[in-house]
Structure 1
């Protein structure tokens, strides 16, 4: 097979720092495709997440292959080439992508060409903007999809789907799911903190105030967690985890986690050289000291990316104890795909028992872990708005200053808790404070009650019950209606 040997490859990548997660686009001769591979390195140095770079890599790969078939490349491509690529993706291929999917792809292409211009490969992008509109885009953006659970739906998801109970609360002895207490603790953290899956599933024990021994220390009433490296876009924010969520985590640690870790000791010992082995004596200042890649290093917990958290263990002297809250076989964090499989198995189980009289109404599509975040946001927003209204009614002094409006604004508080960059994203939740389907039912309930009546009878009923004016006469001047 043509290409370069191992020594040449090592020498090639030894010249420049290659960060973890950096994609590399290779030709048939196993040489990096330039300048696209340099763009990937630029993204890595700018701190883009491995997930984002992976998406961009597939966009660049598809675009490069299309342009190669047309006898050109990304630097030499014309506007016509790129518009033909857009037509292929959105209309001509066997399964065209949705407009919102293409919009995300066009964003990646725009960023690639912006970098090519900045680095001097091109004088300008090869496509034009007409009246401020980018001809490569379609102008369609996807609105935030908000799906939230009722209390009954959440309990059904947590206890029946994930924990293996029956809808009436009884134990289902036929349940064969693995680590139900881990799943219950995870969704409880997701619901009561508003964290995303990539945030709560990558937490370390010190962030929740736990020692490696689950029985050690007093359970706190609540803890504040400083998110940063694991947060979306690395945007820092403070999250509060209440005592009820910590109680489920402690139950999982006592009943399941210690057995998982014990069974994983042989695997952890064999992989020791690959792990970040931290010292048992830490100063409790949000930093971890230990050995990583043969060197002694100190790492700030909030700045630790998920990849480093997965391999972080503590040498207690008796054994290697993973510092990840949630662990699976092998002693490492479950991969996001593992959590996804857990969610799908829970959905199938919920569907199996959906006809039970104790089961709540099931949605048409499976619940997502992200729906827990939407539920948190709406519940908190409802509570804060109700509290603000009550406080305002009880107070004799109106909120008169800008500072008062900001300090007591429920939307701004929810924005801060969720870590939204713009209040506009949080405002979308206002649409979901009331259940539109319930309002439709109530609006037409009276019509349904008269389903067998004639049109004349319905009209007479409406006129006599709700159409009287203040003088007691039916109807009135048409200009007043």
Structure 2
């Protein structure tokens, strides 16, 4: 078992070699790191359910899966019933597990086949729920985001004035991170593991600057992304202030000298990075090959001493684990709630909102603002791509249907409303913005802050 790889033990603490063999298999390791963790948790739940029923998992039958589905989704005695979408993911984990075990002769049959016998012998039915729809994600409008950001992260009061009781120590870092997600649509792991050297130059021209996500932390493959120039300037301010102070403090306290597994960059060329380990051995790697653990151990040599290559650091001067940003957002949500601000936010919501803003902007550019004839619009789309495809590129999705089905539900009827209700193309940009705001608010999926500042 490799470092960080999930594994399960029996209730008595003993290992089950066949379960561990699945976690060590190529079938499992080819899954993304996050999917591996999710599947391990789902399997733990199902295997524990079987254990509670006195059923060895090697003897599991389709009826056991039907019982599990009933308990998870419809049992009135279960206070934690789940949606069809959640159960579908649990079923996918069971299917992969039992298909692998059956292929390797551990089980006589595969109880997680698509079609299973119904109770009482009344034919067969699919275990996959018919209502297994993607999770209804939430979005946030620009005004609501600014309100959440100012109150929750910057420590202001709901009226915009300074809160004299606020004692935030990492305001600059937290604001820079949130604005990075808001302006780029990066995933939490992608943004939370960025290296300083991966940021574009501050003086690059343009309102949006191009950078790259390394394949080792991206979901699926590396890709380009864009962040706003204002977000880049804020990141630079953080690097020169709060981050520099944390690094200086860590140097004085000797935190970097004996850090286990430390890798120091000693050079870079077209072939990649040359890094030296604690034994003095030098090897060559690339930014695409660095996963989040490698990045947390990577250091650079500055005039004043060693410094982490990772952009976002904790008070200790050591790299933050990207998962810890969830707690930062939760703390901001609690502050907003305590002050009566009806806005909450979490990291992936900013990715959803980025996708929504980009699509609305592109739809408007294609269908209204550019004043193109149908023929010109068709030619333009053939040259530059459909708005959905452009948003897919910005998000790094491999399948445009993911972009359509999961992230952008609020705009399902926007193009029709634009045609019927938005007036002619001579309307002002503010009129267009107000119209879209009304449309999105009517869906009930978009948080506009209850008409708060913005």
Check whether TM > 0.5: yes
2:411 paired with 1:411 = no
CA deviation map 1:71-103 (0-9, x unaligned): 543322222233333333332764243133222
2:98 alignment partner, SS class: helix
Instruction: Spell out the pairing of 1:44-83 with structure 2 (5 A cutoff).
Output: 46-83=29-66
Residues 379 and 76 of structure 1, relative CA distance in 2, 3 Å threshold:
same
- The Cα shift of 1:371 comes to 1.7
Partner of 1:229: 216
Residues 40 and 81 of structure 1, relative CA distance in 2, 3 Å threshold:
same
- The Cα shift of 1:43 comes to 5.4
- The Cα shift of 1:177 comes to 1.8
Of structures 1 and 2, the one with the larger relative CO (CA 8 A, separation 6+) is 2
Partner of 1:298: 284
User: What TM-score, normalized to structure 2?
Assistant: 0.79
Partner of 1:178: 169
Q: Partners of 2:306 and 2:35 in 1: how far apart?
A: 32
Q: Count residues in correspondence.
A: 405
Whether the 8 Å CA contact 1:167–1:353 is kept in 2: the answer is: yes
1:145 alignment partner, SS class: coil
- The Cα shift of 1:318 comes to 3.4
Residues 397 and 143 of structure 1, relative CA distance in 2, 3 Å threshold:
closer
2:255 alignment partner, SS class: helix
Moved >6 Å (runs of 4+): 131-134
What's the C-alpha RMSD, in Å, of the aligned pairs? 3.1
Instruction: Spell out the pairing of 1:1-16 with structure 2 (5 A cutoff).
Output: none
CA deviation map 1:347-396 (0-9, x unaligned): 232234447xxxxxx24xx2112221122112211221222135762469
Partner of 2:354: 376
Residues 44 and 77 of structure 1, relative CA distance in 2, 3 Å threshold:
closer
Q: Partners of 1:124 and 1:255 in 2: how far apart?
A: 61
CA deviation map 1:274-300 (0-9, x unaligned): 222222x433x4832212463422221
- The Cα shift of 1:404 comes to 4.0
Q: Partners of 2:403 and 2:204 in 1: how far apart?
A: 30
Q: Partners of 1:273 and 1:306 in 2: how far apart?
A: 15
Partner of 1:188: 179
Q: Partners of 1:272 and 1:149 in 2: how far apart?
A: 40
1:412 alignment partner, SS class: helix
Q: Partners of 1:353 and 1:127 in 2: how far apart?
A: 49
| Farther-moved stretch of structure 1 (43-52 vs 96-105) | 43-52
Whether the 8 Å CA contact 2:263–2:275 is kept in 1: the answer is: yes
Whether the 8 Å CA contact 2:182–2:350 is kept in 1: the answer is: yes
1:240 alignment partner, SS class: strand
2:91 paired with 1:106 = yes
Q: Which has the larger radius of gyration?
A: 1
Whether the 8 Å CA contact 1:23–1:37 is kept in 2: the answer is: no
Partner of 1:268: 255
Residues 238 and 286 of structure 1, relative CA distance in 2, 3 Å threshold:
farther
2:210 alignment partner, SS class: strand
- The Cα shift of 1:422 comes to 2.2
Q: Partners of 1:278 and 1:85 in 2: how far apart?
A: 51
User: What TM-score, normalized to structure 1?
Assistant: 0.75
Residues 333 and 134 of structure 1, relative CA distance in 2, 3 Å threshold:
farther
Residues 62 and 144 of structure 1, relative CA distance in 2, 3 Å threshold:
closer
Partner of 1:426: 403
Whether the 8 Å CA contact 1:311–1:332 is kept in 2: the answer is: no
Instruction: Spell out the pairing of 1:56-205 with structure 2 (5 A cutoff).
Output: 56-90=39-73, 91=75, 94-99=78-83, 100-122=85-107, 124-127=109-112, 129-130=114-115, 135-205=126-196
2:364 paired with 1:386 = yes
Whether the 8 Å CA contact 1:388–1:408 is kept in 2: the answer is: no
Residues 249 and 27 of structure 1, relative CA distance in 2, 3 Å threshold:
same
Whether the 8 Å CA contact 1:103–1:139 is kept in 2: the answer is: no
Partner of 2:313: 327
Partner of 1:207: 198
Q: Partners of 1:131 and 1:88 in 2: how far apart?
A: 17
Say which of 334, 348, 359 aligns to 1:348. Answer: 334
Partner of 2:432: none
Q: Partners of 1:437 and 1:272 in 2: how far apart?
A: 49
Structure 1 unmatched runs, 5+: 1-17, 211-217, 356-361, 442-481
Structure 2 unmatched runs, 5+: 118-123, 415-435, 445-454
Q: Partners of 1:199 and 1:286 in 2: how far apart?
A: 23
Q: Partners of 1:398 and 1:56 in 2: how far apart?
A: 48
CA deviation map 1:242-266 (0-9, x unaligned): 3211100011112200111112223
